[in-house]
Structure 1
Amino acid sequence: MKRVTTIDVTRGLVMVIMALDHVRDLLHTPALTQNPTDLTTTTPELFLTRWITHLCAPTFVFLSGTSAYLSLRKRNDVAARRFLLKRGVVLLVLELTIVNFAFWFDIHFQSLMLQVIYAIGGGLIILSLLAKLPVKWVGAIGLIIVFGHNILQIVPSFTDPAARLIWALLFRTEFFPISSSFALLAAYPLIPWLGIMLVGYACGQLMERPVEQRKPLLLRIGLGSLALFILLRFLNIYGDPAPWSPQKDGLFTFLSFINVSKYPPSLIYDLLLLGLMFLILSAADGANNAFTRWLTVYGKVPMFYYILHWYLVHLSMIGMSLIQGYSLADIPSGPLNFGRPAGAGISLGLVYVVWISLVLLLYPLCNWYGRYKASHPEIGWLRYV
């Protein structure tokens, strides 16, 4: 089956956007103390800089499911399911090692943060088992999870540490200060994100259709998802643990309306962000211009880009600190500490400059790796990165 470039374009776009959030996290002056979506302290510019990056994780997870479906269609089912299982295991190993080191630059691994790679890796392992079922059943399971998991908000916190940990790994974002020298943050609980992946897997059938058929369907699905978001969000009854409320002016009331919960992803969050993703897929479908070709370079090598961009962002933070007069001895360490001196940082405008510079720097590297990967199919490990 021919590669669906629409997926690469859309994935490339959200990968570019993703880097903005991580540059802001590590370099922006108030990032250590200010929540950019706290409407009592944020600015519209800071809020939207953070909010637009909400698009990234659900798109990654959804398209991982879609790509898994297309992969199963290209080769023997048993071999393809085995590959999904192995890829999931590899992603979990990478998350616990290379990716987490990129977060913290700490050889003692005092911090462990389970993020989107954990969710995708775990999801692929489960999907490798569920893929034996009819596609519509897998999609139905995904929809049940997406629409129903918010009910679990009523489950009270467990007192038993083991039960708390298991529940956090599966359903609830939670922080575990294990000791003075080690902390675990289960940021992306598996099951809510699995629902998105399973729906993406079922939508793989849609991507098999000709462009002239799927493009309007993608548009209608996106508009329908956004319409349902507006309805449920307006009702303020179910779908998100943080209801919206009138604010000091119309702009901030709008920001409250779209200030949806990501940890874990609520139904309202899914409807809004996946609705936008479907609109992007529709707009990208069949498009062939300089911008889409540029995005495709990133979208073809997502794991390579993801790992490399984290290391570049972290090195940029260290370089910024040194330029601002701090020494390596001033770089703090400890659980969940990125290692930025308390007084170091740059303005939001400079964050955008660094972001664009890093994305452009990554282009020739991703272009080279994409070409190398395509020309060396005999090298098995390249399929995992």
Structure 2
Amino acid sequence: MDYLGIDARPDDAITPQAEGDRDGMTGRLVSVDLLRGAVMILMALDHVRDYLMDVRVSPTNLEVATPALFFTRWITHFCAPTFIFLAGSSAFLAGTRGKTQGQLSLFLLKRGLWLILLEQTWVSFSLTFTMPKVILALILWAIGWSMIALAGLIFLPRALVGAIGIGLIAFHNLFDGLRVESSGVGSLLWRLLHEPGFVPLVGGIGILEGYPLIPWIGVMAVGYAFGPVLLLPPDRRRTILVALGVGLTLGFVGLRALNVYGDPRPWTVQATPLLTLMSFLNCQKYPPSLLYLLMALGPAILALAWLDRLPRFLAGPLATFGQVPLFFFLLHLPVAHGLGVAVAALRGQPVGWLFETAPFQSPEGYDNSLATVYLCWVVAIVILYLPCRWFADVKRRRRDSWLSYL
């Protein structure tokens, strides 16, 4: 499997009993590629929406967001947790291919640094079409630093790695009320680990921290501990996935219903049942709360048990995207941004703000309908399919070392 720079095809670890739901040519676990492809497509929806709608109308603000806008945003909450969880699993699978712990640790360290570098170069430019005067600390930053943390954690017993991950996920909300207002190294470190926002450095340059690291490191560690499940025979694996997926989902519902812990944003009874449901599901992503992660990972793991039964016309494109996730990620950003510029120009809307440094601030009156968002999303997926199919074919045919970086 390949996940954002981790090339971990577990071919040598496949037993005869486990081959039934794998690609016969590559040994890849089909359901993992399908899940990854599905969440990549959803991620594209979220980023297309960013460039087409007024950023001041928050999809999570129930006072201004319509149900359609809320659920357009909510469905994309499955993306980041699934990305990072599968990255941890792929790290484990990379270790099943004959690597020593030292080799795997170095592998994770290099991949983590590579992703952080990509965030500050290609990703920064693609998001803004200029070089921003900020250090972006977004999804590749979180994955990169989580890999670097995992590079050290893998020297511990796998069960302990999983326990540390669970602890980081389960207990980081105990510190939600802690705010560090002072300057200095300690304050900077705390902001990077748990408190999102802009962290000023020197000369007007700062860090735009969107993905505080503590819970994301936990998700990757848990994914690493989960890795052996993917090597089990299909029936046994499916049983575990269903039990775990249902358990996490029910855990979310039960803990959320109590309204006592797990998210700094309590739900409230609203004017209608639909609005009450929206309040119930409206969990915090920055940083991801315990309940946010339960809400996302439970259904994702459950889907992993059944996705290999999709009809071929759906499975084919999903698998193609899922086989080249980093390539898709790097390509979809300028495509989404370019579509935003094209729509604004065609409709006579302001365009200049789409070439400004992050964070974005759309001008007064800038907005497009959700129908336009969904249409442009479909256009983006169509544009991305052929290059992704081409690159997936290249990776099947060749084993050049540089390919593992894309």
> What secondary structure sits across from 1:112 in the alignment?
strand
Conserved? CA contact 2:89–2:223, under 8 Å: yes
Q: Is 1:83 the equivalent of 2:107?
A: yes
Aligned to 2:241: 218
Give 1:126-275 correspondences, 5 Å limit. 126-176=149-199, 182-275=205-298
Gaps of at least 5 residues in structure 1 are: none
Cα distance change on mapping 1:248 and 1:161 into 2, 3 Å: farther
2:125 is matched by which residue type in structure 1? F
Deviations 1:49-80 (CA, angstroms, capped at 9, x unpaired): 00000000000000000111111111222323
Post-superposition shift, 1:285?
4.1
**Counterpart residue identity of residue 127, structure 2:** F
**1:370 aligns to 2:392 (yes or no):** yes
In structure 2, distance between residues paired with 1:69 and 1:348? 40
**1:19-43, CA deviations, whole angstroms, 9 ceiling, x for partnerless residues?**
0011111112xx3211111111111
State the distance in 2 between where 1:235 and 1:118 align.
34
| Residue 3 (1) aligns with residue 24 (2) | no
Residue in structure 2 matched with residue 297 of structure 1 by the alignment: 320
- The alignment of Structure 1 onto Structure 2 pairs a total of residues equal to 380
The CA RMSD over aligned residues, in Å, is: 1.9
C-alpha distance in 1 between matches for 2:355 and 2:381: 27
One-letter code aligned to 1:191 = I
Distance 1:43 1:384, change over 3 A: same
Aligned pair partner of 1:95 in 112, 119, 143: 119
With normalisation by structure 1, the TM-score equals 0.94
Give, in whole Å, the separation in 2 of the partners of 1:160 and 1:32. Answer: 29
CA shift digits 1:91-118 (9 cap, x unpaired): 01101111111111113x2233211111
State the match for 1:336 in structure 2: 358
Q: 2:372 aligns with which of 333, 350, 360?
A: 350
Structure-1 separation of matches of 2:274 and 2:63: 13
Structure 1 residues 178 and 376, CA gap change in structure 2 (3 angstroms): same
Q: Distance in 1 between matches of 2:37 and 2:196?
A: 27
Kept in 2, the 8 Å contact 1:110–1:334? The answer is no
Question: Would the aligned equivalents of 2:51 and 2:336 in 1 still touch at CA under 8 Å?
Answer: yes
Establish whether residue 25 from structure 1 lines up as the match of residue 50 from structure 2: yes
The 2-side partners of 1:113 and 1:60 are apart by: 18
Answer with 51-60 or 1-10: which moved more: 1-10
Once the two structures are superposed, residues 347-381 of structure 1 have per-residue CA deviations (whole angstroms, 9 ceiling, x without a partner) of 1111001001111211111000111122220x212
Instruction: Report the CA distance shift for 1:306/1:94 in structure 2 as closer, same or farther (over 3 A).
Output: same
Residue 57 (structure 1) aligned to one of 61, 75, 80:
80
Partners in 1 of 2:161 and 2:359 — Cα distance? 39
1:162 to partner: Cα distance:
3.4
Rounded to whole Å, the distance in 2 between the matches of 1:342 and 1:246 is 32
Distance in 2 between residues matched to 1:332 and 1:313, nearest whole Å: 11
1:155/1:341 CA distance change after superposition, 3 Å: closer
Shift of 1:230: 1.1
CA distance in 2, matches of 1:180, 1:340: 25
Q: Distance in 1 between matches of 2:350 and 2:42?
A: 31
Structure 1 residues 39 and 327: alpha-carbon distance in aligned structure 2, compared to 1, 3 A threshold: closer
Match of 1:16 in 2: 41
Give the letter for the 1:298 counterpart: F
What SS is found at the alignment partner of 1:176?
A: strand
Match for residue 403 of structure 2 among 374, 377, 382 = 382
SS in 1 for 2:393: helix
Is the partner of 2:198 in helix, strand or coil?
strand
Alignment of 1:105 with 2:105, yes or no, is no
